[in-house]
Structure 1
Amino acid sequence: MLNLAALTELLASPKKIVITTHHKPDGDAMGSSLGLYNYLIQQGHHTTVITPTDYPDFLAWLPGNEDVIIYTEQLEKSAELIAAAELIFCLDFNALSRINEMGVLVGDSSAYKIMIDHHLEPADFDDYRHWDINACAAAQLVYDFIVNQLYHPELINKDVATCLYTGIMTDSGSFRLPNTSSTVHRIVADLIDAGAVNYRIHELVYNSASENRLRFLGHCLANCLEVLPEYNTAIIAVNNTDLKKFDVNTGDTEGVVNYALSMSSIKLAAFIVERSDRVKLSLRSKGEFPANEICKKYFDGGGHRNAAGGHSEGTLEHVVEKFKSILPEYKKLLKQ
C-alpha cells in the first residue's frame, strides 16, 4: 500500500497516468474524472481519461472531454495506455467489476491504483484510497484530495472548478440531498470563485433535452407509472420496444425515477428498464429507507441508501414481479 507521502513523491514528477470511472458514466463520474485530469495536466503528467462505455451527450461540453477515450470504441489504444500507465486513478467506483472488461486490464496492470470514491464496501484492489461514504460526490473527494492532501488549491483553475462543480451538483441532486452538508456548500462557493459559472453549468446539464427525450418522459409518466399506495412505492417499467420507439440514447433515462419519487406520498421509487442484454433497475428513496439493501440482496447491485441500482438476467415482467414481492418485507419502513 502507498501512504500519502509516497504518493505525493510519485506525483512530484511527470508520470503516465490513466483515469477511469464506472460504466455508463454520469455527471459525477465525468466531472470528477475530468476535474482530476485538468489538475494533473497542469503539472505535466501524461494523463488520459478512459471510460468503459459511452456517456450522455449533455456532458460532452466538459473541459477536456475532447481527449476522453471510450474503451469500447478504441480497444487497442486503451489496452496500450493501461499497460503503460504508472498510476491509475479509479474514480466513483469501488470494485473492478464496475468497469466491465476494463477491470481485467486494470487489475493486471503493474501501475499503482488510487481509489477516490464514496460508495459502501470498497473491494481491495487499490494501493491508495481516498474514501468517504459521507461525501455527496466523488467530485467532492477529488477537491479534497487536491486541496487538503496534495496542498494545491492554486491549481483549482476554471476548468477544474467547472468539472468538479458539475460532479457535485449532479450527485447531490442539485444540492438538495441529505449529504449536501455545509462543507459541500463551502466547496461549491470556492469552485464558483475559481471560475465555475453555476447557472451556465445547470443550463447545460438540465436544459439540453431532445424532443424525443421529453416525449419518452411523457410516455413513462402517462403509460408506465404504477403506484402502490399500500407500500408508498411507485414503479416505472419500460420495455426495449419503447426505447427504440423513442430513439432513447445514453443518458435519456437518467433522472426519470426521480419523477416517481417526487410524489409526496412516495417513499420508494423504482425505474426498471429492459435493455438488450439485461434488465436494469434504479431505486431512489426518501429518509432512512435503504434502497441499496434491496439492490444488494436481490438484484446483484448496490449504491447509496437513497440512490442505488442493480440488474437481472430475467425478463422485465419477472423483475417487476420480483420487486413487488420484496415490498411486504419492508412494509413497516415504507409506511413510517
Structure 2
Amino acid sequence: MLDLASLKELLAQPQKIVITTHHKPDGDAMGSSLGLYNYLVQLGHHAKVIAPTDYPDFLSWMPGNEEVIIYTENTEEAALLVAEAAIIFCLDFNHLSRINQLGELVGASKAYKVMIDHHLEPQDFDDYRCWNINACATAQLVYGFIINELGYKEYINKDVASCLYAGILTDSASFRLPNTTAEVHRIVADLIDAGAVNWRIHDLIYNSSSENRLRFLGYCLANKLEILPEYNTAIIYVSKADIQQFNVNTGDTEGIVNYALSIASIRLAAFIVERKDMVKLSLRSKGEFPANEICKKYFSGGGHRNASGGQSNKSLDEVVAEFKSILPEYKKLLIQ
C-alpha cells in the first residue's frame, strides 16, 4: 500500500498520470475526473482522462473535455498512456469490471493506483484509498482529497470548481438526496466562490435536451409506464425497437426513472431498457428502501441504497417478469 506521505512525495514532482472512471460516465464520473485533471495540470503533471466509453453530450462543456481519450475509440493511445503512467487515479468506481476492457490494462499496470469512490464493497486493487460511502458524490471526495490530503487550495480555480460542482449537483439529484449534508452545501459554497456559476451549470446539464429525447420521454410516460399500486412501485421498460424509433443517444435515458419515482405514492421505481447485448436496469427508491440490495441479489449489480443499477442476459420480458416476482419479498418495506 501507499501511504499519504509517499503519495505527496510522488506528486511533488511532475508525473505521468491517468485518470479513469466507470463506463458510460455520468455527471459525477466526468465532473470528478475533469476536476482532478484541471487541478493536476496546474501542478505540472502530464495528466490524461481516459473514459472507457462515450458519455452524454450535455457533459461536453466541462473544461478539459477536449483532452479526454475515449478508450473504445482510441484503444492503442489509451493502452500506451496506461502503460507509461506512474499513477492511475480510479474515480467513481471500485471494481475493475466497471471499466470493461480497460480494467485488464489498469490491473496489469505497475503504476500506483489511487481509488477515490463512494460505492459499497471496493475491490482490493488499489494502493491508496479515499473512500467514503456516506459521501453524496465522488466529486465531494475529490474536493476533500485536494483540500485535506494534497493541499494547495488556491489551485481550485474556476475550471476545477465548475467540474466538481457539476459532479455534486448531478449525484445529489440537485441537492435533494439525504446525504446532501450541511458540509456538502459548505463545499458547494466554496466552489461557487472559486468561480463555479451554479445557474449556468444547471442550465448546461438539465436544459440541453434534444427534441428526440423529449419525444422519447413523452412516449415512455404515456405508453411504457406501469404502476403496481399494491407495491408502491412504478416500472418503465423499453425495447430495442423503441430505442431505434427515437434515435436514442448516450445519455438520453438518464433521469427518466426519476419521473416514475416522482409519483406521490411510489417508493420504488425501475427503468428497464433492452440494449444490444443485454438488458439494463436503473432503480431509484425513497427513504430506507434498499434498491441496491435488489440489484446486487438478482441483477449482477449494486450501487447506493436509493440509486442503483443492474443487468441481465435474459430477454426484456423475462427481466420485467423477474423484477415483478421479486416485489412480494419486499412488500412490507414498500407499503409501510
TM-score by length of 2: 1.00
**Superposed, which structure 2 residues align to 1:1-336 within 5 Å?**
1-336=1-336
Find the residue that maps to 2:61 and give its secondary structure: coil
1:86 partner amino acid: A
Whole-Å Cα distance in 2 between the matches of residues 299 and 279 of structure 1? 10
Please list the CA deviations of residues 263-316 of structure 1 after superposition, one character each: whole Å capped at 9, or x if unmatched.
010000000000001000000000000000000000000000000000000000
2:65 partner amino acid: N
Find the residue that maps to 2:72 and give its secondary structure: helix
Residue 124 of structure 1 deviates from its aligned partner by 0.2
Find the residue that maps to 1:89 and give its secondary structure: strand
**What is the identity percentage for the equivalent residue pairs of Structure 1 and Structure 2?**
76
Whole-Å Cα distance in 1 between the matches of residues 46 and 236 of structure 2? 44
2:175 partner amino acid: F
Whole-Å Cα distance in 2 between the matches of residues 143 and 4 of structure 1? 16
2:124 partner amino acid: D
Find the residue that maps to 1:73 and give its secondary structure: coil
Whole-Å Cα distance in 1 between the matches of residues 122 and 96 of structure 2? 10
Whole-Å Cα distance in 1 between the matches of residues 86 and 151 of structure 2? 22
Residue 60 of structure 1 deviates from its aligned partner by 0.4
Whole-Å Cα distance in 2 between the matches of residues 119 and 171 of structure 1? 12
Residue 101 of structure 1 deviates from its aligned partner by 0.3
Whole-Å Cα distance in 1 between the matches of residues 271 and 151 of structure 2? 41
2:60 partner amino acid: A
Q: Which sections of structure 1, spanning at least 5 residues, go unmatched?
A: none
Whole-Å Cα distance in 2 between the matches of residues 88 and 175 of structure 1? 30
Whole-Å Cα distance in 2 between the matches of residues 279 and 11 of structure 1? 42
Find the residue that maps to 1:48 and give its secondary structure: strand
Residue 216 of structure 1 deviates from its aligned partner by 0.1
Residue 145 of structure 1 deviates from its aligned partner by 0.3
**4+ aligned runs moved over 3 Å, structure 1:** none
Whole-Å Cα distance in 1 between the matches of residues 231 and 127 of structure 2? 44
Find the residue that maps to 2:317 and give its secondary structure: helix
Find the residue that maps to 2:324 and give its secondary structure: helix
Please list the CA deviations of residues 185-232 of structure 1 after superposition, one character each: whole Å capped at 9, or x if unmatched.
000000000000000000000000000000000000000000000000
Please list the CA deviations of residues 12-58 of structure 1 after superposition, one character each: whole Å capped at 9, or x if unmatched.
00000000000000000000000000000000100000000000000
1:254 partner amino acid: E
Residue 151 of structure 1 deviates from its aligned partner by 1.6
Whole-Å Cα distance in 1 between the matches of residues 306 and 95 of structure 2? 20
Find the residue that maps to 1:63 and give its secondary structure: coil
2:220 partner amino acid: C
